[in-house]
């Protein structure tokens, strides 16, 4: 019977599985795919959706070598076969070869982009493919091939190819030197025209970056036009962020459409296609009664915007592979609080600024750097707070610092309470305390830059200050 086991090969990600075959006078039985047991031994939880079987009546039938844009588990149901695999993915292992003889006791997990082939060693061999995507003519256009007889591969076929049954198409496949390697699945940034989207595109130059003109997250038809199988990560930087307007009838509808309904669609896509979903959340999901919020705190939003962000967070949490990145007081290369204060300082205006809301600034380049770190290191999926580090300040404290860096007197900024500042205005409720604990992101090896340092750098670049 043997023990269930999983073994690595010369091709990264290509795994050989020793199966337990239970036999008696009636024949044999095996668990060809057993999710719980096999994933515990290191086999990827690859989410199969289609099973194909190729029946080969005679010895010497030879098929391949084909690389498809999906993962698969291959095995034989009857007979025996010699299996050969060639890595046709972009990267240092391109051209690597692995071979295994397949009987009922052996299966092989083949990752996307690794080419598969086999040669039958017994009559009536049934070769099985369990795959994690549905075949389609469009998918076939993404196949990559290499020639069975390529001398560079030097595959030791048990039966000489000249004596084998091979299709004309397989005989015409290119040599390895002429093969176009299969590119890796890509990262997709949504909301790329926004402040954070632009910062993400700068730190992830190989990612595709789509603005609303290319992909409107609130348009249901947009989702059907994308071949999601070509991606492995979605970063959702698209959001409705007009906090005060969200309290109006139209603003409420728009906020729910972008921050909840659209996020629900992305969560479904990510789950269905086994993608990593990175979603950016906000301090507004809390009521601000706690002075420091960690990742375990339950949401308690005060206004419509916070309610939509909290609802979107709950949907993202259902995705098996997700990073929910919670941030606060975001400053980027567009209109923002710091730019406004610097502009007022330059025009000689002395503003009043609220002094009873507390938090830390987060600059978009730092937020993007932290997201890139999560994707590069892949710590445990879940929620991570990510803001600038350093002391907690009020908006009035930050405004005074901006004035000082712009050469103005700190005293030119007049502190005022939120109640006084908002009197007679239609505004959304704000959390009093917005500071987020940074311990969990720090434990991954990422050290957020102090907000004060980022502020100095931002103003130096923004206003040409030394």
Categorize the per-residue pLDDT at 465 as very low, low, confident or very high, splitting at 50, 70 and 90: very low
Query: What is the tally of helices (H) and strands (E) in the chain?
Result: 14, 25
What pLDDT, on the 0 to 100 scale, is given for residue 134? 87
Q: What's the rounded Cα separation, in Å, for the pair 290 and 102?
A: 60
Instruction: Determine the Cα–Cα distance for residues 445 and 389; give it in Å rounded to an integer.
Output: 14
| pLDDT tens-digit map of 215-264 | 999 999 999 999 998 899 999 999 999 999 999 999 999 999 999 999 99
Same topology between domain 5-178 and domain 186-463:
no
| Whether residue 383 has pLDDT greater than 70 | yes
Asked if residue 276 lies in contact with residue 375, where contact means CB atoms within 8 angstroms, the answer is yes
Distances in whole angstroms, Cα of residue 218 to Cα of each of 104, 113, 225, 228, 245: 49, 33, 14, 17, 18
- The Cα–Cα gap between 260 and 320 comes to 18
For residue 70, name the pLDDT band (cuts at 50, 70, 90).
very high
- Give tens-digit pLDDT for 144-181: 999 999 999 999 999 999 999 999 999 999 999 999 99
Instruction: Compute the 3-state secondary structure of the chain and give helix, strand, coil in percent, each to the nearest 5.
Output: 30, 25, 45
Answer yes or no: are the C-beta atoms of 81 and 121 closer than 8 Å.
Answer: yes
**Greater model confidence, 133 or 84:** 84
On the question of a cis peptide bond just before residue 65, with omega within 30 degrees of 0, the verdict is: yes
Total count of residues recorded for the chain:
466
- Nearest residue to 197 (alpha-carbon basis) of 371, 384, 407: 371
pTM of the model: 0.88
Report the phi/psi class of residue 390: left, alpha or beta, with left for phi > 0 and alpha for psi in -120 to 50: left
pLDDT in the model for residue 462: 63
Interhelix angle 249-256/304-316, nearest 10 degrees: 10
Cα gap 130→38, rounded to integer Å: 14
Give me the pLDDT at residue 139, please.
Answer: 73
pLDDT (0 to 100) of residue 136: 79
Work out the pLDDT band at 140, boundaries 50, 70, 90.
Answer: confident
In terms of Cβ atoms closer than 10 Å to its own Cβ (0-12, 13-18, 19+), residue 424 is exposed
DSSP one-letter code for 237: -
**H or E element at residue 192:** none
Residue 466's pLDDT is 36
Nearest Cα to 47, choosing from 120, 112, 139, 113?
112
- Note the CATH number of domain 5-178: 2.60.120.10
- Beta-strand relationship, 97-102 and 81-87: antiparallel
- pLDDT, the chain, mean: 95
Q: How far apart are the first and last CA of the chain?
A: 74
Looking at residue 137, its pLDDT comes to 77
Instruction: Tell whether the model's pLDDT for residue 2 goes beyond 80.
Output: no
Identify the CATH number of the domain defined by range 186-463: 3.40.50.720
**How sure is the predictor about 142, in pLDDT bands with cuts at 50, 70 and 90?**
confident
Q: Is the pLDDT of residue 332 over 90?
A: yes
CA distances 114 to 32, 87, 107, Å, are 21, 4, 15
pLDDT in tens, 405-462: 999 999 999 999 999 999 988 899 999 999 999 999 999 999 999 999 999 999 987 6
Digit-coded pLDDT (tens) for 333-374: 989 999 999 999 999 999 999 999 999 999 999 999 999 999
d(Cα 244, Cα 251) in Å, to the nearest integer? 8
Catalytic residues: 66, 129
Domain boundaries, the chain: 5-178, 186-463
Q: Give the pLDDT of residue 1.
A: 65
What tens digit of pLDDT does each residue of 38-68 get? 999 999 999 999 999 999 999 999 999 999 9
Query: What local confidence, expressed as pLDDT, does residue 109 receive?
Result: 98
Read off the pLDDT of residues 290-313 as tens digits, 9 standing for 90 and up: 999 999 999 999 999 999 999 999
Task: Name the pairing type of β-strands 21-24 and 27-30.
Answer: antiparallel
The 3-state DSSP class for residue 416 equals strand
């Amino acid at each position: 019977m043997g023990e269930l086991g999983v073994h690595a090969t010369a091709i990264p990600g290509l795994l050989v599985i020793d199966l337990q075959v239970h036999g008696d006078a009636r024949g044999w039985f095996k668990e060809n795919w057993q999710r719980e047991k096999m994933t515990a031994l290191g086999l990827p939880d690859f989410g199969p959706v289609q099973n194909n079987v190729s029946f080969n009546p005679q010895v010497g039938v030879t098929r391949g070598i084909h690389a498809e844009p999906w993962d698969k588990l291959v095995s034989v149901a009857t007979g025996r076969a010699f299996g050969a695999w060639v890595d046709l993915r972009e990267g240092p292992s391109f051209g690597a070869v692995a071979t295994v003889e397949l009987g009922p006791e052996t299966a092989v997990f083949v990752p996307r982009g690794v080419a598969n082939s086999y040669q039958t060693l017994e009559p009536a061999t049934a070769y099985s493919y369990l795959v994690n995507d549905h075949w389609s003519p469009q998918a076939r256009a993404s196949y990559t091939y290499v020639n069975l007889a390529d001398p560079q591969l030097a595959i030791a076929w048990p039966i000489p190819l000249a004596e084998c049954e091979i299709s004309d198409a397989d005989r015409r496949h290119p040599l390895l030197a002429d093969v176009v390697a299969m590119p890796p699945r890509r990262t997709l940034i949504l909301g790329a025209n926004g402040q954070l989207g632009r910062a993400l595109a700068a730190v992830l130059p190989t990612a595709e970056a789509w603005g609303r003109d290319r992909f409107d997250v609130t348009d249901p038809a947009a989702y059907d036009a994308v071949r999601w199988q070509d991606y492995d990560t979605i970063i959702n930087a698209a959001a409705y962020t007009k906090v005060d307007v969200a309290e109006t009838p139209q603003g409420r509808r728009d906020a729910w459409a972008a921050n909840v309904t659209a996020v629900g669609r992305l969560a479904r896509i990510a789950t269905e296609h086994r993608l990593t979903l990175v979603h950016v959340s906000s301090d507004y999901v809390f009521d601000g009664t706690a002075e420091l919020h960690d990742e375990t705190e339950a949401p308690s939003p005060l206004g419509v915007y916070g309610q939509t962000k909290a609802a979107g967070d709950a949907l993202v949490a259902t995705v098996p592979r997700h990073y929910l990145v919670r941030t606060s007081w975001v400053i980027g290369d567009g209109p923002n609080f710091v730019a406004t204060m610097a502009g007022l300082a330059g025009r000689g205006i002395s503003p009043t600024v609220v002094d009873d809301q507390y938090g830390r600034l987060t600059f978009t380049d730092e937020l993007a750097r932290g997201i890139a770190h999560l994707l590069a290191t892949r710590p445990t999926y879940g929620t991570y707070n990510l803001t600038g580090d350093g002391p907690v300040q009020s908006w009035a404290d930050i405004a005074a610092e901006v004035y000082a860096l712009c050469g103005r007197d700190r005293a030119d900024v007049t502190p005022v309470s939120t109640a006084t500042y908002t009197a007679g205005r239609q505004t959304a409720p704000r959390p009093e305390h917005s500071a987020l604990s940074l311990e969990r992101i720090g434990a991954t090896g990422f050290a957020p830059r102090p907000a004060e340092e980022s502020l100095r750098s931002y103003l130096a670049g923004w206003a040409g200050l030394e």
